[in-house]
Amino acid sequence: MYNVIGFTLTDGDTYQNSAIMAEALAEQLGINIKVDAVGASEAFKALGRDSRGNTLMIFHDQSYLGNLYGVTGYADPFEGYTVGQTVAINPGNAYLVGCDSPYQSMEDILTAAANGDRVRVAIQPGGVSKIGFLAMKNAASVRTPGSEENIVAVNTGSQSDKNQAMWDDLADVINGSIQDNEQFTQLPADDQKCMRFVWITARPATFEQASAAGMGNATRDPMLQYASPATSVTLDGTQDFTFDKEFFFLYNKDMDPAIMDQVNAAMTTRRDRIAASGPYWRRTSGEMDKPRFLGTPGLTVLYFWLMVPVGNIWPNTGLGFPVCLIPFVFATGFFTCTACLTAGACDAGDRRDQAVFRIMAVHRDLFSAPCPEARATKSHRSYRRCFSRWSSAALLSASSSGPFPA
C-alpha cells in the first residue's frame, strides 16, 4: 500500500504526520505502507487512478483551498474524492517578522497599512498561508477601509523560499510555523536570520490542547500571546479570525468502503499507539547523527564555492579541483566515520568507511609528492594527466578488498 502526500518536501508537518500514521497503521494492520512525497497534483492523479485501495492520500486544508483559489492541479476534493478521517491538527501555523523589523505585533502591521505603508507578506499561492494573508487584508479593510491595498503578497514556494525572501529583504512578514521557524526565534537579535512571531492563527481551544512543553525552546504558554484573543486579527469587528490547519485522509471515490472502515477501526482501536509515535520521532531526532546529516551538505556547498577562487591562485593549471577535492574528501570522511579518528579504527564490517579512509590515505601520499613532469612544465594537460592517475590509484586502492556492499 502507498500513502501519497501533497508536498514534495520530507521535513514539513505533512510528511511528519503521514509518517506517524503510516508507521502506526502498518503495525496495526500488518501491511507495508510506503510514504511518497510526490506533490499535490501528482498525489491527486495517483489517487484518482487507483480504485483498489492500494493508494491513500493524506493532505491538509490546501487540498480544498487550492481549488477555491483556482490553482492549477487542484480539483474539488469533495466532488472527485472521498474525504476521510481527520487525523491531526497543527496549531502552529504562524506569521513572523525579522528581529530588526519595526513591526512588533500585528497591531503595528495593521496600523502601518492604515498609515499608507506598504507591508509585503511572503506566502505560497493557493496554500494555507494565503488564507491568513487574506485575513490580514480583511482586518485592514474592517479597521480602515482602503488600507488593505497596502498589504501585498510576495508569492514564493516552500518554507525555505519564504524564509529567504525575508532574509533578502523582499518581504516584511512571512508565513511559517512553530515547527519550522522556532529555531530562528532563538538566535541573537543582531543575527540576520533572527525572527519574531507576531501571529499564530490557531483557535484558543486548539492551542490549549497542545503539549505544555511546546516545540524546542518555545513552550506553549508564552506562545499564547500571539494567538487570539491576545493577538487580534478581526474578522468582522466583533470576532477574531482563527484557523486550524487540519490533516485528513482522502480516498478514491470508487474504493471499497470496507477499506475506509478498516483504516478507521485501526486508528480508533490503537489511538494510544498512534499518539505515542510523537515521542518516537522526537527520540529519533535526538539520536540522529546531526554533524554528518548537516555537515556534509554544508561541505558540498563550500567545496563548489571555493573551487573558482582557489583555482585562480594557480590559473590554467587545473589545481583548483584537486586542492579543493582532497580536503573535501578528508572532511566528509571525518563525518562519515568519526570513530576512525577517535578510536583509530573503523568497524570491520563498515567497508564503505574503510574505503573513504583508503582514498584519503592515497591522496595524502600523492599530494606530498606531486607529479614531477607537471611541476617542471607547468602544463595544464600534465596536471590533468597527473590528477587522473591520482584518482585512478585512489579508487583502485578503495576497491582492492572487493566491491562496496549494496
Give tens-digit pLDDT for 1-26: 555 555 556 656 777 778 888 888 88
How many other CB atoms sit within 10 Å of the CB of residue 355? 22
Check: pTM over 0.85? Answer yes or no: no
pLDDT of residue 117: 96
- 80-108 pLDDT tens trace: 888 888 888 888 889 999 999 999 999 99
202 vs 184: CA distance, rounded Å: 20
Question: From CA 143, how far away is CA 148, in angstroms rounded?
Answer: 9
Q: Which residues of 330-347 are buried (b: 16+ CB within 10 A; e: fewer)?
A: ebbbbbbbeebeeeeebe
User: Distances in Å between the alpha carbon of 106 and those of 164, 241, 323?
Assistant: 21, 13, 52
Mean pLDDT of the 229-256 span: 90
The per-residue pLDDT for 290 is: 65
Q: So what's the pLDDT on residue 402? A: 39
pLDDT at 363 exceeding the cut of 50: no
Q: What share of the chain is helix, strand, coil (3-state, %, to 5)?
A: 55, 15, 30
Q: Which residue has the higher pLDDT, 391 or 106?
A: 106
Query: What does the angle CA 353 – CA 358 – CA 360 come to, to the nearest 5 degrees?
Result: 95
Instruction: Output the DSSP codes for 315-352.
Output: TTTTTHHHHHHHHHHHHHHHHH-HHHHHTSS--TT-HH
Q: Which helix (H) or strand (E) holds 199?
A: strand 195-200
Q: How far is CA 138 from CA 23, 106, 118, in A?
A: 41, 13, 15
User: Rounded mean pLDDT of the chain?
Assistant: 77
pLDDT for residue 322 is more than 90: no
Most confident option among 117-131, 255-269, 329-343: 117-131
Residue 367, phi then psi, degrees to nearest 5? -65, -30
Query: How buried is residue 238: exposed, middle or buried, by Cβ count under 10 Å (0-12/13-18/19+)?
Result: exposed
Q: Tell me the pLDDT tens digit for each residue of 148-170.
A: 999 999 999 888 899 999 999 99
Helix, strand or coil, per DSSP, at residue 256: coil
The yes-or-no verdict on residue 33 having pLDDT over 80 is yes
Instruction: For 178-236, write each residue's pLDDT tens digit.
Output: 888 999 999 999 999 999 999 999 988 888 888 788 777 778 888 899 999 999 999 99
Q: Which domains does the chain have, with CATH numbers?
A: 2-90+246-287 (3.40.190.150), 93-243 (3.40.190.10), 290-398 (no CATH)
Residue 39 — very low, low, confident or very high, per pLDDT cuts 50/70/90? confident
- Contact predicate 45/37, CB 8 Å: no
**pLDDT surpasses 80 at 383:** no
- CA distances to 102, 161, 200 from 152, rounded to whole Å, are 17, 17, 19
Confidence of residue 281 (pLDDT cuts 50, 70, 90): low
369/364 Cα distance (integer angstroms): 9
The grid coordinates listed for 212 are: 505544555
For 250, other C-beta atoms within 10 Å of its C-beta total 22
* In contact, 106 and 198? CB cutoff 8 Å: yes
Residue 72 predicted with pLDDT over 80 = no
Read off the amino acid at residue 133: F
* Spatial contact of 240 and 234, defined as CB atoms under 8 Å apart: yes
Say yes or no to pLDDT of 338 above 70: no
By percentage, how much of the chain surpasses pLDDT 70?
Answer: 73
* Residue 318: per-residue pLDDT: 78
- Burial track 356-389 (b if 16+ CB lie within 10 A, e otherwise): bbbbbebbeebeeeebeebeeeebeebbeebbee
Tell me the pLDDT tens digit for each residue of 284-297.
666 666 666 677 78
Tell me the pairing of strands 2-5 and 34-37: parallel
Q: If pLDDT is split at 50, 70 and 90, which confidence band does 240 have? A: very high
Whether residue 229 is preceded by a cis peptide bond, meaning omega within 30 degrees of 0, is: yes
Q: Which of 15, 64, 17, 8 is nearest to 38 (CA)?
A: 8
Q: CA-based diameter of the chain, in Å?
A: 84
CA distance 202 to 368: 62
What pLDDT does 100 receive?
94
Q: What's at 395, amino acid-wise?
A: L
Task: Give me the mean pLDDT over the 62-68 stretch.
Answer: 81
Mean pLDDT calculated for residue range 383-392: 44
